[in-house]
């Protein structure tokens, strides 16, 4: 009889130990993995929000640059169109300017006053009269 009681007791203890072990493996570890995944998702969301804010700031800067360029050339010439494209490294602005030859050439020489990061990629002169010039400009801004 004593042997049977000890065997039942041992079997009960072994079953309890196995249940606790199974509980740890099947419940607590997956919960830890879920917690880690949720923390990683929160980190990714924060990074995406930061990127979105940076993109909004870049778009604001781009709009300001376009307005500044238009105002810069509007004093001495007629700005016919402005196209812009935004790349990761720079903003590309294309415009067509018509006006007084001397005034436009002075503005082009002093374009550094507008922004230190402005440089010409291309200047096409479409038409030159005695005093008038019609040209297309392609500017890159960092």
Helix (H/G/I), strand (E/B), else coil: 94: strand
What pairs with residue 88 in β-bridges? none
For 63, the token pair is: 């709009």
DSSP state letter for 117? T
pLDDT in tens, 41-64: 889 899 999 988 888 877 777 777
Provide the whole-model pTM.
0.50
Tracing tokens 């130990």 back to the chain, one arrives at 17
pLDDT given at position 5: 66
**What does 5-68 look like in DSSP terms, one character per residue?**
HHHHHHHHHHHHHHHHHHHIIIIIHHHHHHHHHHHHHHHHHHHHHHHHHHHHHHHHHHHHHHHH
pLDDT given at position 65: 74
Average pLDDT score over residue span 75-102: 74
**In the structure, what pLDDT confidence band is assigned to residue 79 with cuts at 50, 70 and 90?**
confident
Which residues have a Cβ under 8 Å from the Cβ of 124 and sit 6 or more positions away? 135, 136, 137
For 3, the token pair is: 């042997």
Q: Give the separation between CA 90 and CA 111, rounded to whole angstroms.
A: 17
CA 58 from centre of chain: 8
Q: Give the separation between CA 136 and CA 139, rounded to whole angstroms.
A: 10
pLDDT given at position 111: 73
Whether residue 81 has pLDDT greater than 70: no
Domain parsing of the chain, residue ranges:
1-142
The mean of the pLDDT values for the chain is: 78
């Amino acid at each position: 009889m004593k042997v049977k009681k000890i065997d039942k007791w041992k079997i009960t203890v072994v079953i309890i130990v196995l249940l606790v072990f199974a509980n740890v493996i099947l419940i607590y570890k997956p919960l830890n993995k879920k917690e880690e995944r949720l923390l990683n998702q929160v980190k990714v969301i924060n990074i995406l929000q930061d990127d979105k804010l940076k993109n909004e700031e870049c778009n604001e800067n781009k709009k300001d640059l376009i307005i500044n360029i238009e105002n810069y050339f509007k004093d001495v010439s007629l700005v016919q169109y402005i196209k812009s494209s935004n790349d990761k490294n720079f903003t590309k602005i294309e415009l067509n300017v018509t006006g007084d030859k001397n005034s436009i050439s002075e503005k082009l020489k002093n374009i550094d006053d507008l922004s230190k990061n402005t440089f010409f990629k291309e200047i096409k002169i479409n038409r030159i009269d005695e005093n008038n010039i019609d040209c297309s400009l392609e500017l890159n801004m960092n």
